Structure 1
Amino acid sequence: MEHVMSQMEDNPIIAGIKDEQSLKTALDSECKIVFVLNSTIMNVASIVSRIKKHNKLAFIHVDLLEGASSKEVVLEFLRKNTAADGIISTKAPLVKQARNYGFITIHRFFLTDSMSYHSIDRQISNSDPDIIETCPGGMTKTIGWVKNKVNLPIIASGLVCDKEDVVNALKNGAIAISSTNTEVWAL
């Protein structure tokens, strides 16, 4: 976990990849962490291998891993078949189980209304994540609310489109931002 935090301090911008072109761009970027947001059980190992060859950390969004279930077996599969550093999920039980497999865990939250905001405490107590990710990251006021509510590192993700969004997210308490926007990666 210290290594991940160190990488985020060095470069707080995380590349979120969805296709081959964004993977190539991420590998050539200064981003030190890559979130794999679109993969299949057939290609996830090769994607992670390519990321690791570029000395970057790889996190798999297991909810978006095509061909896998949201059951614990996906974690066993990833541990046996990839060198992924961590996982991302919106599912508290899966996040909690991932720690048993040695993964760094990121619990992703979509903050769409007051109910989703007020449920964070309960979900975190169920998932015990290393890091939380709040979406949309472009709503920087909510990052401050969450920062005051929980004692965990926060990644802002989704709708982070320009330097102003990045600066505001970091100023409001995020330790890093994740974006699929390749222009943001170059900031």
Structure 2
Amino acid sequence: MTETMRRATTGELVELLRDDPVVTSVKDGAALDEVLASEHRVVFLLFGSIVDIADIIARCKAAGKTVLVDVDLIDGFATRDVVVTWLATRTEVDGVLSTKTNLIRAAKTAGLLAVHRFFLVDSFSYHQMPRVVGQPKPDLVEILPGCMPRVISWLREDLDVPLIAGGLVCDKADVMAALGAGALAVASSNRDVWSM
């Protein structure tokens, strides 16, 4: 990591998402190549391993991308705070995504952006969100699946953190419904969504 490296701030990320509300969620090398050649600025990395994640991040940063890594999905990493510390000190990553509160806390401590991901499967998980999101407070919350406009509108009233709708966002109607319900952005690995 170079001394001149600068990470995106929360405000900068929010502005990027206001300008382009489609986050490219990347699951493999072929999709990464396509995203690096695109004009989309925000990348969620949902693949990689302890062996190659630093190189993948470096490629994204060289292409001018703001890059966040889902630390829950990187092969060879445990769900321990030290993983986030390693990413912060050994790479130019802008932030992390995780379903785990301890990793969100570690990201905030390390000066990284933190996106807390929540899988909403029932009313119990929905009602747990405000309590869990409060400590520590992430920069953004990603709810999955993201094709639930009614739930997005409820969450906008219950949370004071910008929302990203992710997972099962498949077409323009899903994108428009999520944004219309109050999501700041949508995250999708669907290439058709990227090309809108």
- Decide: shared fold, TM above 0.5: yes
Q: CA deviation at 1:30?
A: 2.0
* Alpha-carbon distance between aligned partners in 1 of 2:87 and 2:33, rounded to the nearest angstrom: 22
Q: Which runs of 5+ in 2 are unaligned?
A: 1-9
Distance in 2 (CA, whole Å) between partners of 1:126 and 1:6 is: 24
1:172 alignment partner in structure 2: 181
Measure, in 2, the Cα distance between the counterparts of 1:28 and 1:50: 11
* Counterpart-to-counterpart distance in 1, 2:162 and 2:80: 26
Q: Given residue 101 of structure 1, which amino acid in structure 2 is its aligned partner?
A: A
Letter in 1 for 2:66: L
C-alpha root-mean-square deviation of aligned residues, in Å? 0.8
Q: Report the equivalent of 1:25.
A: 34
In the alignment, is residue 123 of structure 1 matched against residue 135 of structure 2?
Answer: no
The answer (yes or no) to whether the contact 2:85–2:106 under 8 Å persists in 1 is no
> How many residues end up aligned between the 2 structures?
187
- From the two aligned structures, give the one with the greater helix fraction: 1
The answer for unaligned runs of 5 or more in structure 1 is none
Moved over 2 A (4+): none
Instruction: Give TM-score, length-normalised by structure 2.
Output: 0.93
Partners of 2:18 and 2:155 in 1: how far apart?
20
Correspondence 1:1-187 to 2 at 5 A: 1-187=10-196
Q: Identity, % of aligned pairs?
A: 39
Code of the aligned partner of 2:171: D
| Length-normalised TM-score, structure 1 | 0.98
Post-superposition CA distance 1:87-130 (Å, at most 9, x none): 00000121012111010000000111000000001111223111
* Letter of the structure 2 residue corresponding to residue 112 of structure 1: V
